[in-house]
C-alpha cells in the first residue's frame, strides 16, 4: 500500500437542506459539489467556519445524513447504494468521533458497555471473556486504566470522556476515523493531550484520519493535507505546511490572518475585514465568497469557480488565484 492509495473518494457530493422561514421554503446548500480523495494513512483536515458544510460531509460518509447527489467510494465500493450486509461492514470500517463527549455517551451505561456497543450490535465478540479483553485493550490504547470500564460518564472529566469517545471508535479496528471537532469542548492543555493521542493511534494502527475542525491551529498541526471550505464549497486543498505558508484562495488568506496568535507585537487594529458570510437563505450566484473578496470581479459574481489544479498537488477554486 502506498501513500497515494485512495481509501475514500468523494465525487460531486451534494446535500441540500430545506428550511422554512416566514412561510417561504428555502434550499440551503450545505455541501455543494464537493469532490475529495482521502489517501490511505493520511490525516486530512477539513477546516471552515460555522455552516460551511464540514460536518455534513462527515455525516454523509457514515450515512447519518443521506446525500442528495454525487457518490462516495470506500476502497472502490460505492457506499451510498450499498445493501444492509455491506452497510454493516461500513459501520465497522468507518468510525466517527463526535465533538461533545458529554452528549455522545449514555449517562446510564457503564463506560465498558458504551465502548463495546458497536461490537455487541455487530456480534464481533466471541464470548464474554473476549468482550472484556477487547474493552480493556481499547481503554488501555486510549490511555485509560481498564478499571474505567465499570465507571459511568459523570465520574469522568471532559478529557477522559473524549478518550472514551475515541475508544468507542477504535474498538472494531476501523480503517477510517472521522473526527468531528473532537477537541473543541476541551481546555487547551487537555486538548493537546487528546490530539497527541489521536496522532499516536493513527501511527500505531495505520489508520486514516479525517479531522474536521474550525480551529486552524489544530488542523495545521495534525494534518498532512488540509481542505478549506466556505459556504458548502471546497475552496482550497493543499499540503498543510504549504497551505499555511502561502494560502492561495482569498478566503483561506482571510481565515489564516484572523487566527489570534500569541504575538504581543501583532495587535488588533482598524482596517479589519467587515464582512460576514451571506445568509444561507439567499441564493448566491457565482463564487460564494465574492461579496467579501477584495479581488472580486464581474466574473466572480456570475460564474462559480471550479476547483482546479494549481500545481504541487494543490487545488484552488478561484478565478483570480
Partner 1 sequence: MLSVRNLVVSGGKGSAQIDIVSDVSFEIERGKVLGLVGESGSGKSITSLAVMGLLPHPQLWVRGGSIELDGADITEEPPYLRVERGHGGVAMIFQEPMTSLNPVLPIGEQIVEAVRVHDGSTGVTARNRAQELLDMVRIPDARLQLNAYPHELSGGMRQRVMIAIALACRPQALIADEPTTALDVTVQLQVLSLIRELCDTFDMGVLFITHDLGVVSELADSVAVMYGGKIVETGPVERLFNTPLHPYTAGLMGCVPDPSAGHRRFQTIPGQAPKPGEITHGCRFAPRCSHAQAICSDDAPTRVTEGARHFAECHFPISRGA
Tell me which stretch binds partner 1 (CB under 8 A): 4-12, 83-91, 129-137, 254-262: 254-262
Residue 189 touching partner 1 (CB under 8 A): yes
Near partner 1 in 33-52, by CB under 8 A: 49-50
Candidates 79, 70, 64, 63; CA nearest to 31 is 70
Kind plus residue range of the DSSP H or E element containing 298: helix 298-302
Residue from 101, 172, 240, 305 in contact with partner 1 (CB under 8 A): 240
- Classify residue 18 by burial, with Cβ atoms within 10 Å: 0-12, 13-18, 19+: exposed
Residue 270 touching partner 1 (CB under 8 A): yes
> Quick one: 96 or 216, whose CB is closer to partner 1?
216
What cell was used for 187?
A: 481546555
Candidates 307, 229, 248, 300; CA nearest to 11 is 307
- Mask 56-95, x = binds partner 1 (CB under 8 A)? ----------------------------------------
Decide: 224 and 192 in contact? Cβ < 8 Å. no
> Quick one: 45 or 174, whose CB is closer to partner 1?
45
Residue 274 touching partner 1 (CB under 8 A): yes
> Quick one: 176 or 183, whose CB is closer to partner 1?
183
Decide: 318 and 248 in contact? Cβ < 8 Å. yes
* Dihedral angle computed from the Cα positions of residues 244, 245, 248 and 254, in that order, rounded to the nearest 10 degrees: 60
> Quick one: 131 or 249, whose CB is closer to partner 1?
249
Residue 23 touching partner 1 (CB under 8 A): no
Q: Determine the size of the site formed for partner 1 (CB under 8 A).
A: 52
HSE, side-chain direction, 13 A CA sphere, residue 243? 31
- Which residues, 6+ apart, have CB-to-CB distance to 99 below 8 Å? 180, 181, 182, 184, 185
Which residues contribute to the site for partner 1 (CB under 8 A)?
49-50, 157-159, 187-193, 195-196, 199, 214-224, 240-241, 244-245, 254-256, 258-270, 272-277
Amino acid at each position: 500500500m502506498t501513500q497515494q492509495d485512495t481509501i475514500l473518494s468523494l465525487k460531486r457530493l451534494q446535500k441540500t437542506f430545506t428550511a422554512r422561514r416566514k412561510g417561504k421554503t428555502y434550499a440551503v446548500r450545505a455541501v455543494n459539489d464537493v469532490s475529495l480523495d482521502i489517501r490511505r494513512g493520511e490525516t486530512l483536515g477539513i477546516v471552515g467556519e460555522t455552516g460551511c458544510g464540514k460536518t455534513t460531509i462527515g455525516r454523509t460518509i457514515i450515512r447519518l445524513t443521506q446525500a442528495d447527489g454525487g457518490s462516495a467510494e470506500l476502497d472502490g465500493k460505492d457506499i451510498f447504494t450499498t445493501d444492509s450486509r455491506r452497510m454493516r461492514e461500513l459501520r465497522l470500517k468507518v468510525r466517527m468521533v463526535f465533538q461533545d463527549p458529554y452528549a455522545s455517551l449514555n449517562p446510564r451505561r457503564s463506560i465498558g458497555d458504551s465502548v463495546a456497543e458497536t461490537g455487541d450490535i455487530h456480534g464481533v465478540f466471541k464470548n464474554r471473556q473476549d468482550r472484556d479483553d477487547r474493552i480493556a485493550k481499547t481503554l488501555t490504547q486510549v490511555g485509560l486504566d481498564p478499571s474505567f470500564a465499570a465507571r459511568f460518564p459523570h465520574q469522568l472529566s471532559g478529557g477522559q470522556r473524549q478518550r472514551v469517545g475515541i475508544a468507542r471508535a477504535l474498538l472494531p479496528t476501523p480503517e477510517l476515523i472521522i473526527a468531528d471537532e473532537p477537541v473543541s469542548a476541551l481546555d487547551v492543555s487537555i486538548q493537546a493531550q487528546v490530539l497527541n493521542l489521536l496522532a499516536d493511534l493513527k501511527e500505531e494502527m495505520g489508520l486514516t484520519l479525517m479531522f474536521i475542525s474550525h480551529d486552524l491551529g489544530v488542523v495545521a498541526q495534525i494534518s498532512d493535507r488540509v481542505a478549506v471550505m466556505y459556504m458548502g464549497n471546497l475552496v482550497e486543498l493543499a499540503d498543510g505546511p504549504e497551505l499555511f505558508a502561502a494560502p492561495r484562495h482569498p478566503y483561506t488568506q482571510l481565515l489564516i490572518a484572523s487566527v489570534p496568535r500569541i504575538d504581543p507585537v501583532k495587535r488588533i487594529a482598524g482596517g479589519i475585514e467587515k464582512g460576514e458570510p451571506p445568509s444561507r437563505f439567499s441564493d448566491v450566484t457565482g463564487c460564494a465568497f465574492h461579496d467579501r473578496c477584495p479581488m472580486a470581479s464581474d466574473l466572480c459574481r456570475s460564474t462559480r469557480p471550479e476547483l482546479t489544479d494549481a500545481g504541487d498537488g494543490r487545488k484552488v477554486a478561484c478565478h483570480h488565484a
